[in-house]
Amino acid sequence: MNAQDLIDTARMLVADYKGLLAMDESNPTCNKRFAKLGIPQTEEARRAYRELIITTPGLGEYISGAILYDETIRQQKQDGTPFVQVITEAGIIPGIKVDIGAKGMAGHPGEKITEGLDGLRDRFKDYFQMGARFAKWRAVITIGVGIPSRGCIEANAHSLARYAALCQEAGLVPIVEPEVLMDGTHTLSRCGEVTEEVLQTVFNQLYRQRVMLEGIILKPNMVLPGLTCSQQESVEEVADATVKCLLRNVPAAVPGIAFLSGGQSGELASARLNGMNLKFKLRSPTVGSSPWALSFSFGRAIQQPALELWQGQEANVSKAQQALLHRAKCNWAARQGEYNAAMEGTGV
């Protein structure tokens, strides 16, 4: 492990108001999205869609890193150019998702544990040779009646920390993603309580596993009410609750926080990210300046409009790329506290 290389890469991932593009959907998940739009669920269709994304002109102006799936990192453009080469030449750092999914947790009905630690050290070596310079592992926490349990939170935090230690050992920056899911009727306050407990537990485990915090990126959920909660707080209230939670629980040594979108629409995710950065930009007496960069690591919130426009048709590639670039630029603006709804009408 070269500590300075890890620190430099982590800083680059959140530099210049850029953010991460999560294009690491598993093949089954990608196929489900294709099926809804009548797109063939084939390897070639997935390859063509991913080529559309990574060849979007100007993408590197707003995106610092791309999280890839195992199939994707091995794929090539139609002309034979490896995807990793295309991404790197665009000024974007290649990354890789390494967990193998969240499975039902034994003895904990309704809760999940993320798997994939077995053989991970060797997989990291392979991915590094392929050109990856950071990785991602996602843990999921569900809020419901009697859950999350302490056992579920601790088990997922321990796995995240072990993954992060192995990741740094291999020379890759770990994206640490403890996601408190949006699904449910829980209130914003309840989400805040659970998110605080999860973050406290995760960082406790990161300390125990001797993970260098200067060489990681945290990818948390925003503090939000459940999707079916009767009370849906404003953008400003969500920003306030999220910022307070982070200030209480995320060490200043962490260089960046790249939020997941978690099923939010592209516009709402941008507005909420903007609200958080605007609080720090104004340097209010109750908040002050940010100890870490507040960035984004969005998947659907950037890709969905492009996917819907593409429809699997070569003739639609250009306008799909324009839509993708627009969403990336909106989030770049949100990182500066300069996003507003008027941008959506102009296609800026």
Alpha helices (runs of H) in 138-234, residue ranges in sequence order: 150-169, 188-208
Asked if 177 is an active-site residue, the reply is yes
The helix (H) or strand (E) run that includes residue 87 is helix 83-89
Establish whether the linkage from the previous residue to 148 is cis, with ω within 30° of 0: yes
DSSP string across 7-73: HHHHHHHTGGG-EEEE----HHHHHHHHHHTT---SHHHHHHHHHHHHT-TTGGGTEEEEEE-HHHH
Q: How far apart are CA 316 and CA 310, in angstroms?
A: 5
DSSP assignment string, 268-323: HHHHHHHHHHHHHHHT-TTT-S-SSEEEEEESHHHHHHHHHHHTT-GGGHHHHHHH
Question: Taking a C-beta distance cutoff of 8 angstroms, is the pair 226, 188 a contact?
Answer: no
Q: By the 8 A CB rule, do 197 and 180 touch?
A: no
The catalytically annotated residue of 18, 112, 136, 219 is 219
Q: Which two tokens stand for residue 274?
A: 């903007």
Strand partners, 20: 65, 297
Q: How many Å apart are CA 328 and CA 335, to the nearest integer?
A: 11
**Residue 21 dihedral angles phi and psi, to the nearest 5°:** -105, 115
Check if 329 is active-site. Answer: no
Give Cα separations from 114 to 92, 159, 297, 328 (angstroms): 28, 8, 19, 29
Catalytic annotation, pick one of 177, 179, 279, 329: 177
Mind telling me the catalytic residues? 177, 219
